[in-house]
Amino acid sequence: MKAQSIARRVAAAGLALAVTGAAGACSASKSSTGSAASGGGTSAAAGGGGGTFTVWDPYPQFDNGSAWSQLLTKCGSQAGVTVKRTGFDTTDLTTKVLLAAQQGNSPDVLIVDNPVVSTLADAGVITDTGTTHLDTTAIAPNLLAAGQLAGKTYGVPIGANTLALYYNKAVLSAAGVDISTVKDWSTLTAALAKVTAAGKKGITFSAIGTEEGSFQFLPWFWGSGADLKKLDSPQGVSALALWTDWLKKGYAPNSVINNTQTTSWQEFATGQYAFSENGTWQLANAKKAGFDYGIIPIPALNGGTAAAPTGGEFVTVPVQDKTDRYATSQKLVSCLTSADNAQATDTTLSYVAATPQVQAKQVAADPALQPWVAAVAAAKGRTSDDLGTKYPKISQPMWTAVQAALSGSASPQSALTTAQNAAAAATK
């Protein structure tokens, strides 16, 4: 697809990306580093072999001496090319990708947040794996689904993270709560009641009016049995009523309305809370917290593990006018996501690997990762169920409903009915 035809579809894609934003579930980006790298259209390579291939990623925190940069260099050497890598802040990256596509100057390999994949695919910015002959057979289907649209797969997940419940062992012990009894919503709520009665605080999470709020609400929404295509179903209303009741009873603080996942974690780190809903990216901070902690998957309404949304990035191949470049790009992507390299990379990014084979190696090296492997196994992509580009148009009304209910300006039923009407109008 030529740049001129792509340009006609990019404007709508830019709007969808602006709505989706970053959920904070990816590896922590800082500020943009590196010079603006030219894309495949102006690369030094004249064809598919040799020369320079460009890679854009959302990891500006990694400098040229990092293990990540060294892996890129190694993969380039194995493919017989030089890799020119540029790390961008996640938000900057998506904007620059759309601009580059319009200009016919896309990078050869693009690593991008998984909810963005379907939007870029719909805009004609990235290729499908059938075109580039990438093998995805070893990838866990629930993780691969985040990069699928209309029966095609666009890229390979480099790893995944998701949400679970951290708990403070001392707080629960003092309140007489046995964590093994927390199996569903009713037993979790009973534990919160005991903790607050004992003078401590119950649970903290992020319900901010952004994608982070939707990201944190989804395990409870999906755990109720609700479907994103029907926000105001009885199941969906029960999930929002759960959160609303926790605030009314003092089991969760009013600060959750404005909490990001970072500020929510800071509350838990005070040592006063029994539970915190947060992700794998907080593992390093948990080890520094100064108190004994544990992790359990988020329970579903009637027991079992709720599906939490997947975070993490896909390694994709943007559309190029010179299609002979795809063969080398395929080699780079295959190298970056290979079993031999994935364990070290996912450890660096605090991700659970995308294949069961590497997940087993991760748990063997660090048994504490087992709850996260279980959570990732039950997780699902926000754009799964073939929602694709519809997801941002559903997520925004959903987080608005959460804000309305928790602030007391609307009942859970009323808030979600309003949200459903807005989502239905936006996704026609």
Q: How far, CA to CA in Å, does 357 sit from each of 140, 148, 322, 366?
A: 10, 22, 35, 15
Q: Is 133 helix (H, G, I), strand (E, B) or coil?
A: coil
Q: For domain 3-161+311-369, which CATH number applies: 3.40.228.10, 3.40.640.10, 2.170.260.10, 3.40.190.10? A: 3.40.190.10
In terms of C-beta density within 10 A (0-12 exposed, 13-18 middle, 19 or more buried), how is residue 260 classed?
Answer: middle
Asked if residues 426 and 242 have their Cβ atoms less than 8 Å apart, the reply is no
- Please check whether the two domains, 3-161+311-369 and 163-308+388-426, share a CATH topology: yes
Structure token pair of residue 9: 């579809």
Tally the C-alpha atoms within 13 A of residue 207's C-alpha that lie toward its C-beta: 28
Instruction: Report the candidate in 218, 202, 91, 203 with the shortest Cα–Cα distance to residue 162.
Output: 218
Say what the pTM is.
Answer: 0.86
Six token digits for residue 96 = 């620059």
Q: What ranges make up the beta strands (E) of 33-115? A: 52-57, 82-87, 109-113
Q: At what angle do helices 234-248 and 211-223 cross, to 10 degrees?
A: 110
Calculate the alpha carbon distances from 355 to 28, 141, 337, 351, 415 in Å.
22, 9, 10, 12, 39
3-state secondary structure of 266: helix
- The helix/strand/coil state of 322 is coil
Q: What whole-number distance in Å separates Cα of residue 303 and Cα of residue 296? A: 12
Which residue in 113, 111, 146, 137 sits closest to 307, CA to CA? 146
Mean pLDDT per block of 10 residues along the chain (428 residues) reads: 51 50 46 39 47 96 92 96 94 90 96 93 95 95 93 95 97 98 98 98 97 96 97 98 98 97 97 97 92 96 96 96 96 95 89 95 92 93 90 96 98 98 96
Contact indicator for 55, 84 with CB cutoff of 8 Å: yes
The answer to whether the beta carbons of residues 268 and 171 sit under 8 Å apart is no
The pair phi, psi for residue 54, each rounded to 5°, is: -95, 140
| 140: nearest Cα among 350, 356, 361, 357 | 356
Adjacent-strand bridge partners of 152? 149
Residue 293 contacts residue 167 (beta carbons within 8 Å): yes
Annotated domain spans of the chain:
3-161+311-369, 163-308+388-426
Residue 423 in contact with residue 397, Cβ under 8 Å?
Answer: yes
Architecture of domain 163-308+388-426: 3-Layer(aba) Sandwich (3.40)
Which residues does 367 contact at the CB level (< 8 Å), separation at least 6? Answer: none
Q: Exposure string (b/e) for 61-99, b if CB count within 10 Å is 16 or more?
A: ebeeeeebbebbeebbeebebbbbbbbbbbbebbebbbe
Tell me how far apart the alpha carbons of residues 228 and 385 are, in angstroms, rounded to a whole number: 9
